Amino acid sequence: MMQTQVIRIHSHGDSSVMQLENEVLPAPQVGEVLLSQTAIGVNFIDTYHRSGLYPLSLPSGLGVEACGVVRAIGPDVTEFKLGDRVAYAGGAVGAYASYRVMPAEKLVLVPAGVSDDIAAGTLLRGMTAQYLLKQTFPVHVGQTILFHAAAGGVGQLACQWARELGATVIGTVGSEAKAVIARRYCDYVISYERFSEQVREITGGKGVPVVYDGVGADTFAGSLDCLTPRGMLVSFGNASGPVPPFEPAILAHKGSLFFTRPTLGHYTSTRAELVNTAADYFHAVRRGLLKPEIGQTYALADVAQAHQDLALRKTQGSTLLRP
C-alpha cells in the first residue's frame, strides 16, 4: 500500500474545483506497475476535462501525461523492471499525483539522453506532432504549410519537425512576444488578423495544401480560406472553443476540401503504434532535430495557477507540475 497526493475534482468548473487530496493506492495488479512520478505534464485537454467541455465521470483525477520510475511490478509484467524510467501520454486521466498505478501497456521507456522533464512535459505534444505531420497529412519536401499557435507546446515541436521534413512553415501567433519564439522555427510568422490573406500573399495566391489548427472556433473559417483545392484542414484542438456546426457543402464550394478532427488515441490504439510513435519522437529529440522547451514549472499544489496561466495564454512551451 502506498499513500499518494492527488488532484481531484468533484464537479466541473473553473480552476477552483481542483482539490489536493491524500489517497491510498493498492498494490499493482496483473499487468500493472506502480510509479513514483517525477514530473507531470499540463495540457489544454486537462482544462477541457476540468471545465466539462470533455465531461468526466465524477469525482475524477486530472492529467494524462507524466514521467516516473517503476517502484513495484504486478504479475505478468515482463516489459519493464524496477528502476526503469517510463512515461505515458493519453489514456485514463489521473496523472496529477505523486504516485500512480498504471497499466504497463500504456507506458513507454524513456531512453538515455531524454530528461524526465522533457518526457513528462512534451511526450503528448511530440506524439501529436508526429501523427499530424507523418500520418494525418504526411508533409513532404517542398510543401508550404500553415500551423496555428506556432509558439505553443505542439506548435514549437511541429514547426521544427516540419522544417526538418523539408516544408516551408507559416506560423500564426497572438503577440509579439510569441512571434519572437516562433521565428526560431518558422519561415514566416504572421498574426491572426487577416491571416488567410497573409497566407495567400506569401504563397502567390495559391494557398497551402494543409492547415494544422489547434485553435478551433476563432480560426475555422479563415483556415478553410487558406487551402488549395483538395487541401485538408486538420482540426486537432479547441483552444478558442469547438468548431461550430457547418454545412458539408462549404467544403465543396471552397475547393473539394477535406476536414478531419483527429485525436492521438486513434493513432496509438495498438501497443505497436504507441511504442513506434513515442520512439520516433524520442529519436528526433536525441538526434537534436527537435529542441523541446519547458517553459514553466509549478508545484502540484499550485495546479490552479497553472490552469489559469494556460487559459490566459501566458505560458510558453510546455508546462510541468512537480509532485
Torsion of CA 109, 316, 314, 151, to 10 degrees: -120
Q: Tell me the pLDDT tens digit for each residue of 18-60.
A: 999 999 999 999 999 999 999 999 988 899 899 998 899 999 9
Residue 6 confidence (pLDDT): 97
Q: Tell me the pLDDT tens digit for each residue of 77-100.
A: 999 999 999 999 988 899 999 999
Q: Inform me whether the pLDDT recorded for 152 exceeds 90.
A: no
Q: Inform me whether the pLDDT recorded for 315 exceeds 90.
A: no
The end-to-end CA distance of the chain, in Å, is 19
Provide the grid cell at 198: 497573409
Q: Tell me the pLDDT tens digit for each residue of 234-279.
A: 999 887 888 999 999 999 999 999 999 999 999 999 999 999 999 9
Q: Tell me the pLDDT tens digit for each residue of 218-231.
A: 999 999 999 999 99
Provide the grid cell at 179: 512571434
Q: How far apart are CA 277 and CA 314, in angstroms?
A: 29
Going edge to edge, which strands form the sheet with 60-61?
Answer: 18-25, 2-9, 60-61
Output the average pLDDT for the chain: 94
Answer yes or no: pTM beyond 0.85.
yes
Provide the grid cell at 107: 507506458
